[in-house]
Amino acid sequence: MMKSLSLPLRFGQPAVHYGRGFLLPLILLAAWWIVARFHLVSALLLPKPEAVVATFVTLFQNNLLWSSLECSLELVVYGFLLGAGGGLLFGTLMGMSRTLEKMGMPLFNVIRQVPLVAWIPLLILWCGIGQPAKIIFIAVGASYPVVLNTLAGIRGVPKDYLEVAHVFQYSRLKLWKRVLLPAALPSIFTGIRLSLSKSWTMVIGAEAFMANVSTGIGNLMVEGGEQFRMDVVIVCIIVIGVIGLAMNQALRLFERHFLRWKSGFNVENA
């Protein structure tokens, strides 16, 4: 009797889980509609939901939204690849050498304490306000999670694995390929996922603080604020959030597929 009752509950759990995820957004949307409908807040500060939808359609139809997203995504790709690649290399070198870790980690920790926006004046002086400065700005922030998680993943490799590699006299390259990389992959993927998320948020800051002739989603949002177009600002905020969520979920799916061979690995808990 108990088994027959447990099956419907088990199959219904995913639906309940995802349903709860939509509950708070629906409450916020209802509250927004009520506030705008009864003019509790000025329409200049909080436009009606239907006005925001109309603005979204307009921006989409005139291709301004897509061209802005295309520009921002291009910066994210370059900055993320540069930062994550450099972070993976630096974290690996420190993970495989205690000497390099003792030399590099103190400086890394000092640099990591500096707020990322504090680098902007220096980058503007060195690189101007063009695309290279924005890419470097994104890369700096994107490297931190990968360095830390790569180092933690390598340091967390069981000693038994290292002893077996020592018995078989693995070279450093073979040790990395056969032992360290597979064992550290869950932690590395966590760092990559955090890095991609940080890259997407940082591109908005880069476009807002280093505005130039290029038109990214951050530029579009700032221009909307300067023109007191709150409908444009809200559209940009929603699009930024949705794109960020889509990136994170896509990387989770790739991670789950790539690490399916690792028994007992649960990407939700990584």
The backbone torsions φ and ψ at residue 125, rounded to the nearest 5 degrees and listed phi first, read: -65, -40
Radius of gyration of the chain (CA): 23
Q: What's the angle, vertex CA 80, arms to CA 203 and CA 125, rounded to 5?
A: 55
* Three-class secondary structure of residue 62 per DSSP: coil
Fold assignment, 57-260: MetI-like fold (1.10.3720)
Q: Give the pLDDT of residue 222.
A: 87
**10-residue averages of pLDDT along the chain (270 residues):** 45 58 83 86 86 93 91 94 96 91 92 89 85 92 95 90 83 86 90 94 84 77 88 93 91 83 48
If you search the block for the tokens 């476009």, which residue do you land on? 207
Q: Give the pLDDT of residue 83.
A: 96
Q: What's the angle, vertex CA 246, arms to CA 242 and CA 250, rounded to 5?
A: 175
Q: Give the pLDDT of residue 103.
A: 93
Q: What does pTM read for this prediction?
A: 0.82
| Token pair listed for 218 | 């951050």
Q: What's the longest Cα–Cα distance across the chain?
A: 76
For the chain, what are the domain ranges?
57-260
Q: Give the pLDDT of residue 269.
A: 44
Q: Give the pLDDT of residue 127.
A: 85
If you search the block for the tokens 């077996």, which residue do you land on? 164
Q: Which residues contact 46 (CB under 8 A, 6 or more apart)?
A: 32, 35, 36, 230
